[in-house]
Structure 1
Amino acid sequence: MHDLRRQALESGKTVSRKARSRTASAASSKANSAVNSRANSRANSRNPSRHGSDEDEGFLSDGTAWSTNSIDDILNNEDVDLPPDAWKAELHSIIEQIVDRKRSSTEGRADSLNVYTHVLMAKYAKDEIESRMNGILPAILRSIKAETSERETVTALRALTVTIVTLDSDDIYDSVCDLLKRTVSDSESIQTKIGALHALGTATFFGGASEEEAEEIMAFLLEIVESDGLSVGAHDQGGVVVAALEEWGLLATEIEDMEEASEAAMEAFVEQLQSSDSSVQIAAGENIALLYEKSYTPREHDEDLSDDEDSDDEGYVKNGDKMVKRYNVYRRQDQLIHTLEELAKISTRKVSKKDRKTLHSSFTDILNSVEKPTRGPKYSTAVNDETGRTYGAGRMKVRINRNVEVRIDKWWKLQRLCALRRVLQGGFATQYDANEAVSRTLPFTVSRG
């Protein structure tokens, strides 16, 4: 996960479609991509490769059995013989195949679900799928429940997450929650558990769960973290623990008061800093930084500040309000800071050079925020020679278009951005422009450059 964050966030760039490596064989030609020859194109484009990771460096294609040449040509309007909205006809055909399970095979369903997901990432298709949900949603859930193959199940879980973000409906959580929790707990496939955890977090955040329901899911996720995955039959499976940490962090961004929940959560997260898996350590550390950030809130208009309140520049937000500490996050903060300092400069050869670099960068930011909770990720303490002031926050940005960029200057923004990138991958910028569920999740700033 941390590699995806480095590429997607620090560069501030979205990988162009032209730059993607094609996954299909040269045998698939544009002539076979026309809508009236879809069946022939599909039959010739299948290969036996497994499903890809849900962290595939932001590419829209996941390298599964479908050739993406023809669908990419349709999505990108690169075939002059096809009308601009040809992707809608393609999506309609794909939906028909997903819904009609009687005449489909396990591999065929996985193929259809994969292309469906691919299209929904690249295009905002709420109007195209909303009227078909009475057929689409039950079909996706049957693929998840049946677990006929790992590939079909994982692909169905990915299809479900992107569907939830596309629909932006308050009615989905109740329909999917129980099944997703059972899948996390009962599936024998680790990849299925991971996919179900991400789908569960997405459904809770975007699908209409109440705050009480969100807190129940957070408790479920925290139990997974506390038990190192044992509570769901995945003991010492780092990928499962990371997924639980990531989705817990996403849901925590929506909870206004985390004081009561912080003590138990901090104990679990601090324990995971000792993990041998650097991804687990970083996900736990980012949740720690988030909890410290949430312990500060803006001063009320009629609130007096005590004499010992910090009054440096980090204490103010853009509107001039003072940020005030409301409670202690962790009672052994000195010990925590010592651990974070060690991770920020870890040098053991037991950790790969790549992981050491990532740990140094991540935990330098996390330590900075624990010591100064009003500082977000990538806060710069370097001094501007012209102003004599520190550069401060705002070095991490994601460009949406010429006029809009998302500034990731808070941990809650980073948690939400990474959750959206997990679901939408390379389609994030397109969805941000068109999908209100995405744009309202993250505030944007108008670029002057």
Structure 2
Amino acid sequence: MLLSLSTLMCSGDVSLLLCCHRFCPTCIATSENTTACMLCHKPMPFDVSKAPPLPPPGLACGSKMDALLGDLEKVCPRHKCVVFSQFSEVLDLVLAQLTLRGVRCVQLRSGNQVELRREFETQDDVRVLLLPLKKYNHGLNLVEATHVFLVEPSLQPALHAQAMARVKRLDQTEPTFVHRYIRRGNIHDMSTKKGRGGNKKRGGQRADAYDSEEGSCNESVASNDTSDSTRSKTSRVSEDTTQEDLLERYLEELTEKRFDGIYNNVLQIARRPSEDEGRIIPRIFGIVGLMLGPHSDEYFAKVESVLEPLVKSNIQSDIVRAQALEGLGVVCFTCSTGDEENAQNIMGLCDPFFNNSATPVLAKLALETWGCLASTLDSTYLIEEGFLDTHLALFLELTNNADVDVRSAAGENLALLFEAMHQNHIDNYEGAGDIASKLLELSKESSKKFSKKDRKEQHSVFRDVYNTVANQEPPNVSFGLENETLRFHDWGSIMQYNAIKECLQSGMLEHLKFNNHVRQLFDLPHTAEVYSRVEKRATKSKTSGSRKQQSAFLKDERKRRQGEKNTFLEGGGHDGDY
């Protein structure tokens, strides 16, 4: 029966001729002419009644899909996997086939779909996450998975590199693997070669990791050819591109995706740095340490092996030695856990610079590093007789330094030691009166040899130091952070904050907002970026427990200040030293 101008068929199977007309083989076998199409009468080189039937409509598997599904079945019982494809139909087919084989998986199609992603992250029985390559190659943290499957090659290697980086991240603790599927001798093989800029080898030594179906993520990313000629052909930057756009485009590529390479290169450079490199590298180590967080003792050991020689070297400039000491202290504070000997060793490196002959930058950073690490030790160690007497004398002498930053840092260390004595109920230390008199004098400094700005800063610091030494009053410092308030009521926390701020400088605010390792150091809740709606209410709502605690604290502070004011007014004056 003729159904249309291009279709002739009955209820049986349907076949297709070379002219693309469909027909029923059973019906056409009864016709007189079985060597030509019944519609266009074009002759065929075979008997049309023997043409094979069309496959049923729907999705079908090929050799690549069979290989992919086989690999997923082997890996899924032990590891979670992420599958990237450029085509939604391929992901639909993978989803259907894995479901038939009893493997539970989820597919993100568009939008945020946080609930589906959370299922993959939290539920052990969800083993596979299916993602469109162009939509989800960036912005996700999928460290729960350790295997990445790239179904098709791409003419843009950066897309694959970004997709791999969803799994290979700084907080990934397991080895990661990348599986590629490329058919040799066809368009796939050609597009892969073109995407990586041909088969050129840089310096004759570049290993081509794209030919391997399984390998580490770092090796695969590092194999991308980034020569100037290739980059100029495949990635042109418009003239109106801003520096911020370039940073956003390439920063992740040059940091998270190539972390191991950068890390090893920086370690190598740090062994014999130039002046400029020596100023920057210790800060890089400190920032990475703040991102890695605690329990990174192996990282601390490697950093210590290259920075400690710089601190001890008489060849390096004072600024390089100071930066090395600061970076080593920050890495020890954030990464070395449970071993007080490391902190004590670095504090010993600081001692030679506690004199007025040292340059201000070296003395200041040595004092800040010493105070930061001393705050992590048990207070009984700080009040040992020989240790306490020696350092009190050193710090008291440094309060006569010509530099206001050195004087302030020395005063804060004095307050830290007296705070340790108060915690251990030592209230009659010999010489405490002389030290308090010196601090009171500094809190009222009026000499014209110092600028007005320096005098104001000195007065602010030494008033609090004097109150701690003479009256056992803790400091009361607070910083506003959007909807949060950072409060310090002991000198140890203040010195830790100062050390981290010296390392991060203008990036301190961003780390306080989004770096949970830094937030944990200062007893801040985890960043709201990863909070559920319920968790946000528990910490951000005005009726939450944390907000009520803050309100109670502020109420007590107001009562205390009002009480002091009433006492002053009723007594007709105030008997004090200043």
Q: How much does 1:133 deviate? A: 4.2
Inter-partner Cα distance in structure 2 for 1:352 and 1:139? 44
Inter-partner Cα distance in structure 2 for 1:350 and 1:433? 40
Is the aligned partner of 1:166 residue 2:291? yes
1:244 corresponding residue in structure 2: 366
1:313 corresponding residue in structure 2: none
2:243 corresponding residue in structure 1: 70
Q: How much does 1:134 deviate? A: 3.1
Q: 1:286 to 1:344 in 2, by over 3 A?
A: same
1:215 corresponding residue in structure 2: 344
* Structure 1 spans left out of the alignment, 5+ residues: 1-34, 46-68, 76-86, 96-127, 229-234, 298-324, 378-392
1:345 corresponding residue in structure 2: 444
Query: 1:364-375 residue pairs with structure 2 within 5 A?
Result: 364-373=463-472, 375=473
2:51 corresponding residue in structure 1: none
Return the letter of the residue paired with 1:376: P
1:195 corresponding residue in structure 2: 323
Is the aligned partner of 1:272 residue 2:398? yes
* Structure 2 spans left out of the alignment, 5+ residues: 1-233, 525-545, 555-578
Is the aligned partner of 1:253 residue 2:380? no
1:152 corresponding residue in structure 2: 277
Q: How much does 1:438 deviate? A: 0.6
Name which of 171, 182, 185 aligns with 2:309. Answer: 182
Q: How much does 1:37 deviate? A: 4.2
Is the aligned partner of 1:416 residue 2:507? no
Q: 1:332 to 1:239 in 2, by over 3 A?
A: same
Partner SS for 2:437: helix
Q: How much does 1:184 deviate? A: 1.6
Tell me the TM-score normalized by structure 2.
0.46
Inter-partner Cα distance in structure 2 for 1:357 and 1:292? 24
Task: State whether residues 399 and 407 of structure 2, in contact with CA within 8 Å, keep that contact through their aligned partners in structure 1.
Answer: yes
2:65 corresponding residue in structure 1: none
Q: How much does 1:439 deviate? A: 1.3
Q: How much does 1:336 deviate? A: 0.6
Percent identical across equivalent pairs? 27
Return the letter of the residue paired with 1:194: A
Q: 1:177 to 1:330 in 2, by over 3 A?
A: farther
Name which of 234, 255, 261 aligns with 1:135. Answer: 261
Relative CO higher for 1 or 2, CA cutoff 8 Å, sep ≥ 6?
1
Name which of 351, 354, 376 aligns with 2:474. Answer: 376
Task: State whether residues 262 and 329 of structure 1, in contact with CA within 8 Å, keep that contact through their aligned partners in structure 2.
Answer: no
Q: How much does 1:179 deviate? A: 1.9
Inter-partner Cα distance in structure 1 for 2:359 and 2:309? 18
Is the aligned partner of 1:331 residue 2:491? no
Inter-partner Cα distance in structure 2 for 1:196 and 1:259? 28
Task: State whether residues 259 and 327 of structure 1, in contact with CA within 8 Å, keep that contact through their aligned partners in structure 2.
Answer: no
User: Number of residue pairs matched?
Assistant: 288
Q: How much does 1:285 deviate? A: 0.1
Partner SS for 2:489: coil
Inter-partner Cα distance in structure 2 for 1:179 and 1:343? 39
Name which of 377, 387, 398 aligns with 2:479. Answer: 398
Name which of 448, 454, 459 aligns with 1:360. Answer: 459
1:28 corresponding residue in structure 2: none
Partner SS for 2:509: helix
2:513 corresponding residue in structure 1: 433
Q: How much does 1:421 deviate? A: 1.4
Task: State whether residues 282 and 328 of structure 2, in contact with CA within 8 Å, keep that contact through their aligned partners in structure 1.
Answer: no
Q: How much does 1:74 deviate? A: 6.5
Give deviations 1:270-291, integer Å, cap 9, x for gaps.
1111212221111000011111
Return the letter of the residue paired with 1:70: Q
Return the letter of the residue paired with 1:178: S
Return the letter of the residue paired with 1:270: L
Q: 1:241 to 1:146 in 2, by over 3 A?
A: same
Q: How much does 1:238 deviate? A: 1.0
Q: How much does 1:36 deviate? A: 4.1
Task: State whether residues 211 and 255 of structure 1, in contact with CA within 8 Å, keep that contact through their aligned partners in structure 2.
Answer: yes
Return the letter of the residue paired with 1:352: S
Task: State whether residues 259 and 329 of structure 1, in contact with CA within 8 Å, keep that contact through their aligned partners in structure 2.
Answer: no
Q: 1:178 to 1:224 in 2, by over 3 A?
A: farther
Return the letter of the residue paired with 2:279: V
Choose 1 or 2 for highest CA Rg.
Answer: 2
Q: How much does 1:185 deviate? A: 2.1
